[in-house]
């Protein structure tokens, strides 16, 4: 390795290190302030950026208080149900759609493919009001109906990734299964799904992070009837502009922990799945 390439590597390392610090810094601020009294968060002397000391440290009081105020277990239950159910539906339905579009070549499947690609381009804000009105009319404004809405919004990227990976699967394998008497459903679940595993895990991870952290769609569709964690946290705001910052910091951290743990335990599959779906296709 030449001296020039070493310098480039070091510069790249420093830049990435700075970017990582910038991303982690807000989380560290939330962590620090979740253990401080609200009196020591704001005011002169940049109190918000100071570490907890003997005077400002309140232990787990903010976590206990915040959990009681928002009903953390009920909110976590709604979030977990909506996230798990939505991800399962997205993973299975879009996998079958991507397989069908790739294997059946006609004008209809070509239209479907570009329709799903176009779905990724259209911003949610453009359709959110008409979508919430339609969801209300179709009785989808509940903890079950919102799963169908998440399927619609999550289908674009998921189908695109599946199509790219299915193209890399030799069609002769499916033909051999067909000759052995396997039905189309049998071919999909017994032959295709095992080979789609890296992409399926990637799709599940990306959609789980999106659904768990989503605030706007649940607030428009289900409102306060089924409070997920992001919606419940907003109710820590009191009257006349008062906000229980200590409780909010604690609950924000609680909401982050499950998805961070989930991501860190599965991050290797994201790179593998994205590479398989985008490069091989």
Residues 208 and 242 in one domain: yes
Helix extents (H) in 57-195: 61-70, 72-103, 107-121, 124-137, 145-166, 171-179, 184-186, 193-195
Distance CA 254, CA 174 (A): 46
Residue 87: what pLDDT?
95
Q: Specify whether 211 is located in the same domain as 116.
A: yes
Give CA–CA dist 115/112, Å, rounded. 5
Q: What's the pLDDT score for residue 279?
A: 44
pTM listed for this prediction: 0.85
Nearest to 151 by CA among 229, 107, 89, 228: 89
**Same domain? 274 vs 178:** yes
pLDDT confidence of residue 74:
92
Count of structural domains, the chain: 2
Domain boundary residue among 59, 78, 104?
59
Residues 6+ positions from 254 with CB-CB distance below 8 Å: 63, 66, 67, 72, 229
Are 144 and 270 found together in one domain? yes
* CATH code for the domain in which residue 229 is found: 1.10.3720.10
Phi-psi region of 274 (alpha: psi -120 to 50; beta: other; left: phi over 0): alpha
Looking at the fold, whether 40 and 116 belong to one and the same domain comes out as no
Single out the residue in 44, 59, 74 at which a domain terminates. 59
224 and 96, same domain (yes or no): yes
Contact status, residue 247 vs residue 62, Cβ threshold 8 Å: yes
What are the pLDDT digits (tens) for 123-180? 888 888 888 888 889 988 888 999 999 999 999 999 998 998 888 888 888 888 888 8
- Give me 74's structure tokens: 């009920």
Q: Which stretches of the chain score pLDDT less than 70?
A: 1-2, 43-45, 238-241, 270-281
- The reply to whether 206 and 113 lie within a common domain is yes
Asked whether residue 53 falls in the same domain as residue 74, the answer is no
Answer yes or no: do 258 and 228 share one domain: yes
Domain match, 198 and 253 both:
yes
For the four alpha carbons of 124, 129, 130 and 132, in that order, the dihedral sign comes to positive
Look at residues 59, 76, 102 and tell me which one is the last residue of a structural domain.
59
State whether the Cα torsion 87-92-94-95 is positive or negative.
positive
Domain that holds residue 37: 3-59
**So what's the pLDDT on residue 239?**
64
* pLDDT value, residue 120: 86
Tokens of 262: 């989930």
At residue 199, φ and ψ (nearest 5 deg) are -70, -35
Do 162 and 96 reside in the same domain of the chain?
Answer: yes
The pLDDT of residue 275 is 56
How far is CA 248 from each of CA 30, 77, 107, 228, rounded to the nearest angstrom?
9, 19, 52, 15
Based on the fold, state whether residues 75 and 210 are members of the same structural domain. Answer: yes
């Amino acid at each position: 390795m030449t001296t020039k390439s070493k310098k480039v590597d070091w510069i790249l390392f420093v830049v990435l290190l700075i970017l990582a610090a910038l991303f982690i810094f807000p989380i560290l601020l939330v962590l620090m302030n979740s253990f401080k009294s609200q009196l020591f968060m704001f005011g002169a002397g940049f109190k918000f950026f100071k570490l907890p000391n003997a005077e400002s440290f309140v232990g787990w009081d903010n976590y206990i208080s915040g959990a009681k105020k928002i009903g953390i277990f009920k909110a976590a239950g709604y979030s977990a149900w909506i996230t798990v159910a939505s991800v399962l539906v997205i993973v299975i339905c879009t996998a079958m759609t991507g397989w069908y579009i790739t294997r059946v070549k006609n004008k209809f499947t070509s239209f479907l493919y570009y329709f799903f690609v176009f779905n990724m381009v259209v911003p949610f804000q453009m359709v959110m009001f008409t979508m919430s009105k339609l969801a209300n009319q179709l009785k989808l404004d509940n903890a079950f109906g919102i799963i169908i809405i998440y399927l619609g919004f999550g289908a674009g990227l998921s189908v695109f990734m599946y199509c790219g990976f299915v193209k890399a699967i030799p069609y002769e394998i499916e033909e051999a299964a067909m000759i052995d008497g396997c039905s189309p459903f049998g071919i999909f679940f017994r032959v295709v799904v095992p080979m789609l595993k890296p992409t399926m895990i990637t799709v599940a991870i990306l959609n789980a992070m999106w659904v768990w952290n989503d605030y706007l769609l649940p607030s428009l569709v289900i409102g306060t009837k089924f409070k997920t964690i992001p919606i419940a946290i907003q109710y820590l705001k009191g009257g006349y502009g008062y906000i229980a910052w200590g409780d909010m910091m604690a609950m924000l951290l609680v909401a982050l922990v499950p998805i961070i743990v989930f991501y860190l335990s599965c991050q290797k599959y994201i790179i593998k799945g994205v590479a398989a779906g985008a490069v091989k296709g």
